[in-house]
Amino acid sequence: MLGRQGNRRLVLAADAAARAAGLRVGIPASKAQVLVPNLQSFDLDTAADAEALDRVALW
């Protein structure tokens, strides 16, 4: 999971396989791509997360 801190894209979360490959929370996304060239990453979408939580709360 990637997100922004200012104008930098950083790793916000990494699963066990990613951590085993050397990824750590807080490293720049560009370094993550170098460490794991076939990395599948997803950008954090706080608006979509909030909307989904609202739907669950209404359920």
Nearest 10 degrees: Cα torsion 51, 53, 55, 59: -170
Instruction: Kindly report the number of other CB atoms within 10 A of residue 23's CB atom.
Output: 20
On whether the pTM is more than 0.75, the answer is no
Where are the domains positioned within the chain?
A: 2-58
Say how far apart CA 58 and CA 25 lie, in whole Å.
Answer: 33
Question: For residue range 13-23, what is the model confidence (pLDDT) as tens digits?
Answer: 898 988 999 99
Tokens (6 digits) for 47: 């608006």
Tokens (6 digits) for 17: 């396989």
Question: For residue range 23-56, what is the model confidence (pLDDT) as tens digits?
Answer: 999 999 999 999 988 888 878 788 888 899 999 9
Amino acid at 20: A
Tokens (6 digits) for 19: 């951590």
